[in-house]
């Protein structure tokens, strides 16, 4: 192979892997388009990828930004010559091997190949198996590049490497500043039944004039009262800090992002159901504090306005639930959860199914 051919192949491999790393870094700072919402995207990455791995809420924001900065730095440094063969390529291969090991472990634990691995954030969803294959191919490219590059190449200036690394990490921290935790956020844990029981008639055993007929009448009253109770006992759902009456009666609790098209569609479908059913469960919405200025437009699209609260990004993901995604729609009855739709895949909101569920009696729901 001629020297020019080697150089051509080497540059091709460098560009391909560099683009993968740069795109991976920028995608973790993007929602629908590149760099459109850095804080939202990186917070989503932390909640969905780092928290399940055991990272604490205090450490995850620093780790995520540092990791993204390293990815971006490696992508840029693959396009320069300083310490390329001696340091940059080995470190990049090592990082990819760590990613492959982690993804393989996650896939083994989950027993499948579902969900988004987070390699390209929410911008380009990729399953763990797809990510593993992508990383293995990248390792192969880098290994071949390592062979192609001359062994006697000069190492160059190490300060260029450190400068690029610290500059990229600093840039990530500046693009998505760490925000202090919301001090007023506290999701309570659902507790055991706090039932508003019906006071049952009691019999005064000291009375000597009570006849057997009287006792039978009292027992009949007790039986009739129990028959009339056709609703679940009250529970604490954990959402009363947002809506004080959420645990009383039948409610529809929604988790929406103002700029999310799927959330708008779900809310519009709920409005259409509510217009057809005068006994439809009251609708309340918890909005993520992301593009909150779009809420008026959100309700305009939905065709109606509903009571709502706005909470910060990370607390929103927590209250939505681990592994869940928007839009989220819950059916609550006296604080008891009877249906939870979330995301846009197999668990997505189904208006036909929801109409059936809310029309069921308590005895039917218990079956």
Read off the pLDDT of residues 113-158 as tens digits, 9 standing for 90 and up. Answer: 556 666 776 667 777 888 889 999 999 999 999 999 988 777 788 9
Q: Are 261 and 171 within one domain?
A: no
In a domain, 73, yes or no: yes
Q: Which DSSP state fits 60?
A: H
In a domain, 203, yes or no: no
Average pLDDT, integer, range 306-323 = 90
Q: Are 28 and 151 within one domain?
A: yes
Q: Tens of pLDDT along 173-225? A: 999 898 776 544 443 333 333 333 333 344 444 444 455 565 565 565 544 54
In a domain, 38, yes or no: yes
Considering 175, 205, 237, which residue would you say is the last residue of a domain?
A: 175
Reply yes or no on whether the pLDDT at 235 is more than 60: yes
61 near 46, Cβ under 8 Å?
Answer: yes
State residue 252 phi and psi, 5-degree precision.
Answer: -115, 115
Average pLDDT, integer, range 262-284 = 94
Q: Are 47 and 162 within one domain?
A: yes
HSE value, Cβ hemisphere, 13 Å, CA-based, for 227: 6
- The domain spanning residue 312 has which CATH number? 3.40.30.10
Q: Are 120 and 260 within one domain?
A: no
Return the percentage of the chain with pLDDT > 70, whole number. Answer: 81
Q: Are 166 and 275 within one domain?
A: no
Q: Which domain holds residue 257?
A: 250-365
Q: Are 82 and 169 within one domain?
A: yes
Distance CA 43, CA 47 (A): 6
Considering 153, 175, 197, which residue would you say is the last residue of a domain?
A: 175
Between residues 198 and 25, the one the model is more confident about: 25
Q: Are 167 and 21 within one domain?
A: yes
State residue 337 phi and psi, 5-degree precision.
Answer: -90, 125
Look over the chain and give the mean of its residue pLDDT values, rounded to a whole number: 83
Q: How many residues does the chain have?
A: 367
User: Read out DSSP for 66-79?
Assistant: HHHHHHHHHHHHTT
In a domain, 195, yes or no: no
Q: Are 147 and 7 within one domain?
A: yes
Q: Are 309 and 165 within one domain?
A: no
CA of 256: how far to CAs of 190, 261, 347, 349, in Å? 22, 10, 15, 12
pLDDT band at 102, cuts 50/70/90? confident
Q: Are 165 and 259 within one domain?
A: no
In a domain, 354, yes or no: yes
Residue 97 is predicted with a pLDDT of: 94
In a domain, 107, yes or no: yes
Number of domains the chain is built from: 2
Residue 183 is predicted with a pLDDT of: 47
Q: Are 255 and 170 within one domain?
A: no
Considering 140, 156, 175, which residue would you say is the last residue of a domain?
A: 175
Between residues 106 and 3, the one the model is more confident about: 3
Average pLDDT, integer, range 92-97 = 95
Average pLDDT, integer, range 102-107 = 78
Average pLDDT, integer, range 39-55 = 83
Q: Is 357 exposed, middle or buried (0-12, 13-18, 19+ CB in 10 A)?
A: middle
Grouping H, G, I as helix, E, B as strand and the rest as coil, residue 202 is coil
Q: Are 163 and 254 within one domain?
A: no
In a domain, 235, yes or no: no
In a domain, 132, yes or no: yes
Residue 162 is predicted with a pLDDT of: 94
């Amino acid at each position: 192979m001629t020297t020019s051919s080697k150089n051509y192949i080497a540059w091709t491999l460098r560009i391909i892997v560099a683009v993968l790393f740069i795109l991976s870094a920028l995608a973790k700072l993007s929602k629908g388009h590149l760099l459109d919402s850095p804080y939202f995207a990186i917070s989503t990455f932390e909640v969905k990828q780092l928290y399940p791995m055991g990272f604490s809420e205090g450490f995850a924001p620093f780790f995520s930004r540092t990791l993204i900065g390293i990815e971006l730095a490696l992508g840029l440094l693959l396009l320069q010559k300083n310490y390329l063969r001696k340091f940059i390529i080995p470190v990049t291969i090592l990082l990819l091997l760590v990613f492959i090991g982690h993804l393989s472990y996650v896939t083994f634990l989950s027993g499948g190949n579902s969900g988004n691995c987070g390699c390209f954030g929410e911008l380009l969803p990729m399953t763990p198996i797809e990510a593993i294959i992508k990383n293995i191919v990248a390792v192969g490219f880098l290994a071949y590049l390592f062979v192609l590059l001359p062994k006697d190449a000069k190492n160059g200036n190490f300060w260029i490497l450190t400068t690029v690394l610290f500059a990229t990490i600093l840039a990530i921290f500046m693009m998505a500043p760490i925000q202090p935790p919301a001090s007023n956020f506290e999701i309570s844990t659902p507790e055991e039944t706090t039932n508003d029981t019906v006071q049952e008639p009691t019999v005064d055993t000291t009375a000597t004039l009570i006849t057997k007929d009287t006792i039978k009448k009292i027992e009949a009253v007790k039986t009739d009262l129990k028959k009339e109770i056709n609703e679940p006992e009250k529970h604490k759902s954990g959402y009363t800090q947002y809506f004080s009456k959420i645990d009383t009666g039948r409610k529809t609790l929604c988790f929406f992002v103002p700029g999310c098209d799927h959330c708008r569609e779900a809310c519009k479908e709920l409005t259409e159901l509510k217009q057809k059913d005068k006994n439809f469960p009251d609708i309340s919405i918890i909005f993520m504090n992301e593009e909150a200025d779009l809420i008026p437009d959100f309700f305009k699209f939905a065709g109606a306005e509903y009571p709502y609260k706005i909470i910060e990004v990370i607390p929103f993901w927590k209250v939505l639930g681990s592994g869940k995604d928007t839009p989220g729609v819950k059916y609550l009855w006296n604080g008891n959860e009877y249906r939870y739709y979330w995301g846009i895949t197999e668990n997505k909101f189904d208006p036909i199914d929801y109409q059936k569920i809310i029309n069921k009696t308590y005895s039917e729901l218990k079956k």
